[in-house]
């Protein structure tokens, strides 16, 4: 089983959108029983909050099913548990390293394989661009995992 964790700043927009987008892609490939997928934050400021309403609306608009998720902060135990940890930007990388004390197992990677960041729609308001970038990254990472 492949264990995937998506991480962003607050776990109410990008990482939780990635969680459900990736889950939908896995489902389309009939691989649900081969993946464990979750998301978390590098901060605790949104802990306990639901997905941000505009993020929910974007997933609904695109036909991506989603369930209940409450924002949570990543822990060192998450680092030990998950095989792949996909982050949205370099700020996430700096903050996640404070939690896990570096990345000795080289599990932490930007979601997009080209190394570009996914802008935070909380600040930009551009949920369409975030969605497109997340879909691209999720497809690239799923293809990468399936080819191994």
Contacts of 145 (CB under 8 A, 6+ apart): 2, 84
Q: What are phi and psi of 28, to 5 degrees?
A: -60, -30
pLDDT at position 102? 85
Contact in structure between 113 and 137 (CB atoms under 8 Å): yes
84-87 vs 35-41, strand pairing mode: unpaired
Which residues of the chain register pLDDT less than 50? none
pLDDT at position 148? 87
**Active centre residues (catalytic):** 8, 14, 120
pLDDT at position 22? 98
Model confidence pLDDT, tens digit, residues 49-72? 999 999 999 999 999 999 999 999
Q: Is 4 exposed, middle or buried (0-12, 13-18, 19+ CB in 10 A)?
A: buried
Q: What is the pTM of this model?
A: 0.97
């Amino acid at each position: 089983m492949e264990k995937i964790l998506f991480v962003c700043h607050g776990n109410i927009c990008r990482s939780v959108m990635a969680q459900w987008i990736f889950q939908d892609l896995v489902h389309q490939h009939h691989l649900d029983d081969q993946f464990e997928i979750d998301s978390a934050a590098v901060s605790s400021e949104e802990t306990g909050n639901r997905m941000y309403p505009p993020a929910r609306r974007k997933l609904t608009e695109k036909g991506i099913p989603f369930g209940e998720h409450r924002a949570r902060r990543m822990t060192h135990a998450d680092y030990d548990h998950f095989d792949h940890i996909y982050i949205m930007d370099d700020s996430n990388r700096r903050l996640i390293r404070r939690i896990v004390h570096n990345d000795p197992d080289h599990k932490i990677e930007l979601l997009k394989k080209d190394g570009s960041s996914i802008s935070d729609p909380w600040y930009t308001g551009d949920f369409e661009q975030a969605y497109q970038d997340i879909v691209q990254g999720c497809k690239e990472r799923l293809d990468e995992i399936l080819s191994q």
